[in-house]
Amino acid sequence: MHTWRQRMRPEQIRELSLVGLIVIALLIFGWQIENFLSARTFNRITSSVAIVGMVAIGQTLVVLTRNIDLSVGSIVGFTAYFVGSQLAANPGLPPVMAVVLAVLTGGALGLVNGLIVAYGRVPAIITTLGTLAIYRMLLINYANARTITVDSLPSWVVELSRQTIFTIGDFAVRPLFAITIAAVVVFQFVLAYTVFGRRLYAIGSNPEAARFAGLPAQRTVLAAFVLCGMLAGMAGFLFLARFGNITAVAGQGIELESVAAVVVGGVNTFGGSGTVLGALLGAFLIDLLGQGLLRWLGISEFWRDALLGLLILLAVASDSVILGWLRRIWAAPALRAEVSNEG
């Protein structure tokens, strides 16, 4: 029993419970909706999760430090439109350069957020709420009521979302989803095994103690926001590849979806605990419920947003109650051993 506790953490129990909920949802929707468990449904969900999941990775890094980035939707939209306009004007631009341009654009916008929060000491929710509107206004002015259309883009951009890397039976794994999975693997490793990852957890767990310990809290928070912007920029490129037609409203609502994915995925809103794998599972569960309820009950997009809000509230409540209970169970053997040693 003690060995099992040593190998498993409460956060891992949360991730396993998400996998269980995903399986249950698949079984229910597969039973109630004809052809729901099909390759078409899988492709639709994974294409959507690829974008939200990429943003959720960056959001996780920021939330771990007890902050939040509400500007990610505007960063996704601005990057998608900006890179799309550059590709339309320069069709010969290499794919690697297009990706680098997207990542650097997002990183620059994230840098602004990070400087204001880390060095200006303005609360993140206030800062990013303001830059959400500012970046969206930049996009509106830059777009000037024009639309990036599919036929103006190089063929490789349009074909990227339709290509198949490999298949498992009738289910195809496409490049957009594979890119996000690769990013999850990289940042899961970063959080678990690098000094930077440990600093994120330490700062989120106790910011004052981290400063007294000599950790570079400001630089770490700045880096988290820059990485969040870069990942949102990458999501902007994925958004462009998936939809092709980009307007000034591109990316609206992604900030809510990314926060919901992170919170439902078990990342503590008060910082210090959570994983990018959990955030990806949260994004998958949310999109699965949205797709299933849309086809089963015919709910509107407005009810879908209400569902996101409800899931956020339930996730926060379960974080404070269920995970707190699990942590007490995990800590009980150590406390008993300490008491017996003192006795």
Report pLDDT digits (tens) over 38-63: 888 888 899 999 999 999 999 999 99
In which residue are the tokens 């943003």 written? 55
Judged by average pLDDT, the poorest of 133-137, 233-237, 291-295 is 291-295
Domain 3-335 fold is ABC transporter involved in vitamin B12 uptake, BtuC (1.10.3470)
Tell me the C-alpha to C-alpha distance, in Å, between residue 7 and each of 4, 335, 338: 5, 18, 20
Of residues 306 and 300, the one with the higher pLDDT is 306
Does pLDDT of 141 surpass 90?
yes
pLDDT tier at 122, thresholds 50, 70, 90: very high
pLDDT of residue 1: 46
Average pLDDT (128-155) is 93
**92-106, 182-196, 228-242, 258-272: the lowest-pLDDT one:** 258-272
Please give the pLDDT value at position 63: 96
Residue 339 has pLDDT above 60, yes or no: no
Task: Tell me the pLDDT band of 6, cut-offs 50, 70 and 90.
Answer: low
* Reported confidence tier of residue 84, pLDDT bands at 50, 70, 90: very high
Confidence of residue 140 (pLDDT cuts 50, 70, 90): very high
